[in-house]
Amino acid sequence: MTPEELMSIPDGQHTATPPPAPKPKGWWRRNILALIGLVPVLALVIGIGFIDPFYRFWQAGPLRPVSADAQGIATIDGIQFRLEELTKVELKDFGGKAILLPVGTLAWKAVVEIKAPDQEKVGLCHFFVEDKAGKLYGDGPDELSKAKGATSFSTCTSSDEKASAAYRVTVYFLLPALAKPEAVRVTWITRYPDYIRLPARVR
Amino acid sequence: MSFLRRTGSRLASTVLFIAVLAAGYGIATITPDLAAEHRPFLIGGNLSEPIQTRLFEVKVTGVKFGSTVKVAGSLSAKPSPLATGGVWVLIHVKFSANSKPTRINYAALVSADGRTFLATDRVDQKIVIGGRELQPGIPAEGDALFEIPKSAATAGLVARFAAAEKYDVRKDAMAEVVLVPDGAAVFVDTSALAYDPAVKA
């Protein structure tokens, strides 16, 4: 079409010029959804990495003490504990003979008063004596297995089924003669990492 | 031109994808697997040497090899010796807990060629396999008994002990005691070994 011919076309009858091609989307715009989706995936991967250590190291042991108040009472889940006594003791067997202890050791007795409205909530627990060096000694050690009253089966429930909500539990320990007891601990696997810590007033 | 660019772009993506897969496979192959990452920390020592781990100290004071074992304290008046087609390994061992009540839940012998043999369950084991709860500062000693094939009773035999809290030996200290040093010969006693399950404080 010559310029003259173009000029002869009436106004409004010119052919429309094609619109410019759309600008290609940038990398960020093209990948934004995938990037957003990556966030929860990364969180999941990191989270899974934490689950095993969490259960193995944090919930796997007594790490957080529940301390006693000024009256010496420590409370956990509405259950009250008070250390009534922690004393050295001479143990006898069922025939009345003195138990022969390993050289350089002493037997200790702890009496813990427990106020538990529901004994099922205290259940199977473990007692430990903590010494000034932070070492722990378990209740009912094998060395005392022949002693009358000492048992390796520890429990926070009363031996008397008709006992009132407040009762006493007696447990025995074996410590090196040089160890200086500092506190009694009560633990439950189901309550980890919390445990009861009752400071001792050694007699 | 546009066709060439599209084809080149797809080819590059494919090559990149394969390269990422190959790199992943390479990393997974050359890096330690989970079992190796979680392996216990071996702390070595020799006979009569105290070995200190995180939770306990161990000292193996004697080792004997035999073809039969007599168990002390059996209810039978004349207990018949326990025979084996392999070799009995009797170890006298002393343990002491470090900081809290501890049981030795894992006891094994490892041969020079890497085979592992757990303490036998043909007799009562009272000092290992969780038998005795050790109190800190109050040592306990006794016998541990293992039954291994003759081919394992050679130089390089070691004993391994771990507290295995919650029966898990991962990522924790494990004592390793050399029972038969390199170059040493093993003497297998033909008379019955005397195994005493009692634990002495």
Q: Tell me B102's DSSP state.
A: B
Q: How far is CA A23 from CA A26, A34, B3, in A?
A: 9, 21, 19
Residue where the block lists tokens 């006979």: B47
Q: Tell me B119's DSSP state.
A: P
> A152-174 pLDDT, tens per residue?
777 888 877 666 788 899 999 99
pLDDT classification of B84: cutoffs 50, 70, 90: very high
Give the mean model confidence (pLDDT) for residues B189-198: 88
Question: How close B165 gets to chain A, by Cα (Å)?
Answer: 10
Contact B101 A143 (CB under 8 A): no
Max Cα–Cα distance, chain A, nearest Å: 135
pLDDT classification of B163: cutoffs 50, 70, 90: very high
Partners of A143 on chain B (C-beta within 8 Å) are 135, 138, 201
> ipTM higher than 0.85?
no
Asked whether residue A12 carries a pLDDT value surpassing 60, the answer given is no
Contact B137 A128 (CB under 8 A): no
Give the length of chain A.
203
Q: Phi, psi at residue B116, to the nearest 5°?
A: -110, 135
Q: Phi, psi at residue B83, to the nearest 5°?
A: -95, 165
Distance CA A193, CA B182 (A): 46
Give the length of chain B.
201
Q: Tell me A54's DSSP state.
A: I
What pLDDT was estimated at residue B92? Answer: 96
The residue with greater pLDDT, B2 or B39, is: B39
Q: Is A4 helix (H, G, I), strand (E, B) or coil?
A: helix
Q: For B169, which residue in chain A has the nearest alpha carbon?
A: A56
Q: Contact, B69 vs B145, CB < 8 A?
A: yes
Give the mean model confidence (pLDDT) for residues A134-143: 93
Distance CA B45, CA A87 (A): 40
Asked whether residue B77 carries a pLDDT value surpassing 70, the answer given is no
Q: Does B101 touch chain A (CB under 8 A)?
A: yes
Asked whether residue A151 carries a pLDDT value surpassing 80, the answer given is no
Q: What pTM was estimated for this model as a whole? A: 0.79
Give chain A's contact residues with B (Cβ, < 8 Å). Answer: 56, 60, 102, 105, 128, 134-138, 141-143, 152, 174-176, 178-179
Contact B100 A176 (CB under 8 A): no
Where do runs of H (alpha helix) occur along chain A? 3-8, 27-53
Give the mean model confidence (pLDDT) for residues B112-134: 91
Q: Is B173 helix (H, G, I), strand (E, B) or coil?
A: strand
Identify whether B101 is preceded by a cis peptide bond (ω within 30 of 0).
Answer: no
Residue where the block lists tokens 């170059």: B183
Return mean pLDDT, chain A. 85
Q: Which residue type does A52 have?
A: D
Q: Which residue type does A39 have?
A: V
Asked whether residue B73 carries a pLDDT value surpassing 80, the answer given is no
Closest CA relative to residue B175, chosen from B159, B194, B191, B164 = B159
What pLDDT was estimated at residue A135? Answer: 96
Contact partners, residue B128, CB within 8 Å, separation at least 6: B93, B104, B105, B106, B107, B119, B144, B161
Contact B101 A142 (CB under 8 A): no
Contact B135 A56 (CB under 8 A): no
Residue B3 in tokens: 């066709």
